[in-house]
Chains A and B, each alone.
Chain A
Amino acid sequence: MATTADHFQAHGDPHDHAHDGDHKPAFFARWFMSTNHKDIGTLYLIFAITAGIIGGAISGMMRAELSHPGIQYLGTFAGWLGVHNPSFDQQLHLWNVLITAHGLIMVFFMVMPAMIGGFGNWFVPLMIGAPDMAFPRMNNISFWLTVAGFCSLMISAFVPGGVGNGAGIGWTAYAPLSTSGSQGPAVDFAIFSLHLAGAGSIMGAINFITTIFNMRAPGMTLHKMPLFVWSMLVTAFLLLLAMPVLAAAITMLITDRNFHTTFFDASGGGDPILFQHLFWFFGHPEVYIMILPGFGMISQIVSTFSRKPVFGYLGMAYAMVAIGVVGFVVWAHHMYTTGLSEDVKMYFTTATMVIAVPTGIKIFSWVATMWGGSISFKSPMVWAMGFIFLFTVGGVTGVVLANGGIDDNLQDTYYVVAHFHYVLSLGAVTSLFAGFYYWFPKMSGKMHSEFLAHAHFWVFFVGVNLIFFPMHFLGAQGMPRRVPNYAPQFEHWNHFASMGYLVMASSMVIFFVNIAYAFIAGKKAEGNYWGEGATTLEWTLSSPPPYHQFETLPVIGDDHHH
């Protein structure tokens, strides 16, 4: 491996005019033409936080409207978007626009950029001992395509989309609502936004796969990679295989809308159900794309703060591979009520339940890692334990929903909303905050306040449970999702959930205060501020790491722990 090490060393040279490893370009070149994986990771994180504020504000608008039966605020909201004195139908259309925007923003422009673009870019090269990503310029293109996609989605809110302005098609964009049901350019803008974000994601996936396969430090075999890198490798493969199918499906939507094809139109020999098959063939792997990097981060954190290697390392790595593989053959469990035959439903029920096995291995191994460990309850660990609890709750309701027979009752109710928010809004987002507090001092060089991070956790934890736990009751009682109005008997728990939103929102204030505190008054972070439990390669570097790291490649010994 010595020759490889020499090549890596040489890699830094073109930038190294002043023989200064920390030579940085000027502001514009550094942040707008960036090819540095850490800078691009930072850009992704800033972008994700910005998009998260917008997506979170939209959920606040929805919770306000849902706090009482009847239509209260939709007319006011329409005024904000420039439609004054909206008709009743326009108000209902605005509701569809809000749920669409919330879903698309949170999935494509908050969770994915933060997990993959943000933490993935920052820490995959650091953890495998590489100087940068394999294709630094493509990394830059990925980021700006994501930004362009977000702009396209924002534009869609201000142009006609059928009954009113904006794309009111749900994040699933089912035909025929998204084809003949929504005239006007808003839906085209929304679809184009997915094209851009999808292209960016595919490029990012190619970059991660190449980096992880080719650029590991000498001695870092695949079976010695930290689990976060494993999670990113599996995620990149899911992106690579799932995203193009979404691109195909939404390209068919575009041509059905604008060029008289009839892929999803029965009058021309097409089939609207085909769109659902294509969408969910992408959509189910997509939910694992959103959670697997979180699994990886939780593994690092639990190991660090238990001061033990992860229990069952290989089982953990291959559990993620198994989740990724099986995740591709369960898609029709989103479509139980589309007239699937009994045999098909039985298959998809069984296959879906099989995923509970590798997921159970992961939960078990996290708990087993903590067992007998020397646990310190630092903020990332508290967030990680919150994640394990919340994700398990979401996983259990997922097993309930996996049953074709039960799903006939619960399809499109708030039970489903509760389920996927427990795994995503509470699961994935909690893991994002765990990762943020774990690595923020490494990225910024400043320590955050542990007190505020703990306060953030407890207020957030209480808030999100107040929002989403009552939704199980609402769904089990039959409240349909995607409606701004509801029968009066649902008011109690809806009002409760809306109050929970205020609690959750106030926890976000603590979060931003904490960031401000760190930058203004935070102590300088040492290289390894978490101490002896933190064993991966990023802890061998300063905080923040030098602009170009690992010009001499680290060599991984045989006794290396993960």
Chain B
Amino acid sequence: MAPNASSARAPIDGRNRRVGLIALSFAVLMLGMGYIAVPLYRMFCQATGFNGTPQRATALAASHIKVLDRTMSIRFDSNIDPGMPWRFHPEATTATVRIGARAMALFDAENTSDHAITGSASYNIQPDEAARYFTKVQCFCFTQQTLAAHQSVRMPVIYFVNPKIVDDPDLADVRQITLSYTFHPVAQSASGQKPAV
């Protein structure tokens, strides 16, 4: 029997504590990674157009894009969150645009209720692979829209199809791109606070 048991145990306790703390830090790191996944995923989607996230460009950048002699059909789709008392639809369901040329689409929205409602639109592109070429210059979906009771508005989207699309073998047989919007109600609060976007 060792005469002073407590001091004899100290080295193994110290080593155990060190390994245990390293293991714990791995667990905490992974917990953090779970949360960082949210902004990382968003940055990744916006950078790559992954999973149908459309691209954005400034008007200046758009004016430098070469316009091709080929056309692409664009289909517009509109949806409303269930229970949101708005009417929302595109003025034309399809448009044929030259690849690279800026074009404008108009959407009509009407608040059919007796009180003001703020909405925000989420958007998606089909086929997914086309998302990295479908570029928006201006869109009502970039900001929240508030409609007074029974107010109607026309909302523009200015966009172009990046000419690099013609070089992508995955999209060689794509003749039409669908741009889909869904309007969601923004949680109302007296301070007009924005939700985390």
Contacts and interface: CB of A to CB of B under 8 A. Distances in A.
A375 interface: no
Contacts of B129: 341
Contact of A247 (B5, B16, B34, B196): B34
Contacts of A342: 170
Interface stretch (A146-154, A205-213, A289-297, A452-460): A205-213
B86 to A, nearest CB: 13
Contacts of A205: 23, 27
Interface residues of A, number: 48
Given A213-B19, A241-B30, A244-B30, A9 B128 contact: no
Contact of A267 (B11, B30, B185): B185
A261 interface: yes
A16 B2 CA distance: 12
Interface in B147-197: 170, 182, 184-187, 195-197
Nearest to A8: B12
Given A244-B28, A245-B30, A339-B52, A266 B122 contact: yes
A8 B8 CA distance: 9
B38 interface: yes
Contacts of A14: 5-6
A359 interface: no
Contacts of A268: 184, 186-187, 195-197
B195 A7 contact: no
B27 A240 contact: yes
B196 A262 contact: yes
A267 B38 contact: no
Contact of A4 (B12, B16, B187, B196): B12
Q: Is the interface of B mostly helix, strand, loop or mixed?
A: helix
A199 to B, nearest CB: 10
A341 B32 CA distance: 28
A363 interface: no
Given A206-B27, A244-B27, A339-B51, A267 B35 contact: no
Contact of A11 (B9, B30, B32): B9
Contacts of B20: 134-135, 206-207, 209-210
Contacts of A277: 37, 41
Name the residue among A206, A207, A260 with the largest chain B CB count within 10 angstroms: A206
B195 A202 contact: no
A10 B9 contact: yes
Interface residues on B, range: 35 or more
Contacts of B28: 244
A278 interface: yes
A213 B22 CA distance: 12
A10 B8 contact: yes
A266 to B, nearest CB: 5
Contacts of B170: 342
B34 A249 contact: yes
Contacts of A206: 20, 23-24, 27
Interface string B101-142: 000000000000000000010100000110000000000000
Contact of B16 (A210, A243, A340): A210
Given A244-B28, A244-B34, A248-B34, A7 B12 contact: yes
A330 interface: no
Interface in B44-62: 50-52
A274 B38 contact: yes
Contacts of B33: 244-245, 248
Contacts of A202: 27
B195 A262 contact: yes
B2 A6 contact: yes
A248 B34 CA distance: 5
Contacts of A426: none
Given A210-B20, A214-B12, A214-B19, A241 B26 contact: yes
B27 A214 contact: no
A269 interface: yes
Contacts of B5: 10-11, 13-14
A263 interface: yes
Interface of B: 1-2, 5-6, 8-9, 11-12, 15-16, 19-20, 23-24, 26-35, 37-38, 41, 50-52, 81, 120, 122, 128-129, 170, 182, 184-187, 195-197
13 contacts: A10-B5, A13-B2, A206-B23, A206-B24, A214-B19, A241-B26, A241-B27, A241-B30, A244-B27, A244-B29, A247-B34, A248-B30, A248-B33
Given A7-B11, A10-B1, A134-B16, 18 more contacts: A14-B6, A206-B20, A207-B20, A210-B23, A214-B12, A214-B16, A215-B16, A240-B23, A240-B27, A242-B30, A247-B34, A248-B35, A266-B182, A268-B186, A274-B37, A274-B38, A278-B34, A339-B128
Interface of A: 4, 6-11, 13-14, 16, 134-135, 202, 205-207, 209-210, 213-215, 240-245, 247-249, 252, 260-263, 266-269, 271, 273-274, 277-278, 339-342
